[in-house]
Amino acid sequence: MSRSVFITGANRGIGLAVARMMAADGDRVAVGHRGGDVPEGLLGVRCEVTDQSSVDEAFETVAREQGPVEVLVANAGITRDTLLLRMGDDTFDEVLDTNLRGVFRTVRAAASVMLAERRGRIVLLSSALGFLGSPGQTNYAATKTALLGFARSLAWELGPRGITVNLVAPGIIETDMTKDLSDRRMRDTMRMTPVGRPGTDREVAAAVRFLASEDAGYITGAVLPVGGGIGMGI
Ligand code: NDP
């Protein structure tokens, strides 16, 4: 069955891999971007998640072009790493506004559409390192673990209406976000990773696809780690 899917921050990285995979499955996929290039064959929709009017317009465009959103993947995210004592309010707030409030804005817009349809799948991109803790990432980790409380509370609100809300928690994945990690940081992280290598965007996309599938209708409020085993049991 072809569904209307919207993915934020999907012009590159994990979001784009999810978009390609779900489009290949036959879904109608809208790729949220901020002016970045969108590959041919995918519907590009401008969506700045720090701006509510941009988010609302994006949902209107998606509904007009491919039908009301049935699957939302809240993927847009940033890092602004630095040690706490060097972290200014701006740096902290920027990460919160994108990774947490941005999810709040997009999920609220999606939920109002999905409640009317009494069906839907919401998948949020969290982080395995967020749960484990990661030096220099107090801002980022705070947002990524906050998504768990957000998702579980929302799971209660939306569950009776056939809408599920789940988290995917990737470990280190090879994208632009991690390309500047120092060799030492990468080595240290790989030591904590049983599989012993970074993951690929497609490996994360496969997990998102599963949680977004019709078959995953009895899974909600869950965290699916995609981290090669890093942080097992956390
Ligand atoms: P990338 O840096 O490769 O891509 C980030 C995407 O988010 C880009 O499309 C970017 O758009 C978009 N984005 C950033 N800020 C905004 C905003 N304010 N409004 C709309 N879009 C925005 O990241 P990844 O693909 O690696 O990460 C995707 C998600 O997965 C993130 O939430 C990240 O935290 C999470 N994650 C990633 C891990 C990794 O190792 N890579 C590990 C754990 C979690 P633009 O091109 O315009 O900048």
d(C-alpha 186, C-alpha 197), whole Å:
9
For a mutational test of ligand 1's pocket, the pick from 125, 147, 193, 201, i.e. the residue with the most ligand atoms closer than 8 A to its C-beta, is 125
The pLDDT tens digits for 52-75 are 999 999 999 999 999 999 999 999
d(C-alpha 171, C-alpha 129), whole Å:
6
Asked if 218 is an active-site residue, the reply is no
- Cα of 50 from ligand 1 centre, angstroms: 13
The pLDDT tens digits for 179-207 are 999 999 999 999 999 999 999 999 999 99
> What CATH architecture does domain 4-226 belong to?
3-Layer(aba) Sandwich (3.40)
Among 6, 92, 131, 140, which one carries the catalytic annotation? 140
Q: What angle do CA 175, 83, 198 make, to 5 degrees?
A: 25
Mean pLDDT within 12-38: 96
Question: Is the distance from CB of 100 to CB of 146 less than 8 angstroms?
Answer: yes
- Cα of 37 from ligand 1 centre, angstroms: 14
pLDDT band of 36, cuts 50, 70, 90? confident
Supply the residue whose CA is at minimum distance from atom 11 of ligand 1: 9
| Ligand 1 neighbourhood includes 228 CB (under 6 angstroms) | no
Amino acid (one-letter) located at 52? Q
- pTM for the structure as a whole: 0.98
Mean pLDDT within 113-134: 96
- Cα of 177 from ligand 1 centre, angstroms: 7
Total residues found in the chain within this entry: 234
- Cα of 78 from ligand 1 centre, angstroms: 5
Residue 36: C-alpha distances to residues 16, 45, 178 (Å): 12, 10, 19
Mean residue pLDDT of the chain comes to 97
The burial class, CB within 10 Å (0-12 / 13-18 / 19+), for 97 is middle
Q: Is the pLDDT of residue 82 over 80?
A: yes
Q: What is the pLDDT of residue 111?
A: 98
pLDDT band of 234, cuts 50, 70, 90? confident
**Ligand 1 atom with the shortest distance to the CA of 130:** 43
